[in-house]
Amino acid sequence: MHVGIATDHGGFALKEELVANLRAAGHEVTDFGAYSLESGDDYPDFVTPLAQAVVAGQVDRGVAICGSGVGASVCANKIPGIRAALIHDHFSAKQGVEDDHMNILCMGGRTVGPAVAWDLVQTFLDAEYSQDERHLRRLAKVAGLEGG
């Protein structure tokens, strides 16, 4: 799978570890930065291009990280077509994809350790979008909200 990943300073170390794990697992990775640890950088500068790439189909799914994961989630969800969520548990990582077609997993670099983060990413990437009528009906209603 082609995975995009982005972070600011708050998740830089976690991103670096996840990029290595993703590549070792055979995934193609596009790194949207940050490319170096800069304490004054801003998560929208990295998360926005990631979200735009997911919507454009340039990457299959995305992982967005900031200190808590909250800002990354809020930012990603401002891009029409993105369904991002802050995830701390395996059930939500799987069900968010299956039922809600989540396409960006958000995590906090200061709240989730690297082993748990890697488990969550694997769960997220292994899950498949449901084609069940009830899920598609709900997704259509959510998509309708983006029309303004």
| C-alpha neighbours within 13 Å on the C-beta side of residue 40 | 0
Query: CA torsion sign, 11 to 17 to 21 to 22?
Result: positive
Query: Residue 89 gets which letter from DSSP?
Result: S
- Segment (H or E) for 64: strand 61-66
| Active-site pick, 66, 87, 106, 125 | 66
| Cα–Cα distance for residue pair 46/49, rounded to 1 Å | 6
Q: Phi then psi for 104, rounded to 5 degrees?
A: -135, 125
Residue 93, SS3 per DSSP: helix
Is residue 66 flagged as an active site residue?
Answer: yes
For residue 14, which phi and psi values (nearest 5 degrees)?
-65, -45
Q: Which positions are annotated as active-site residues?
A: 66
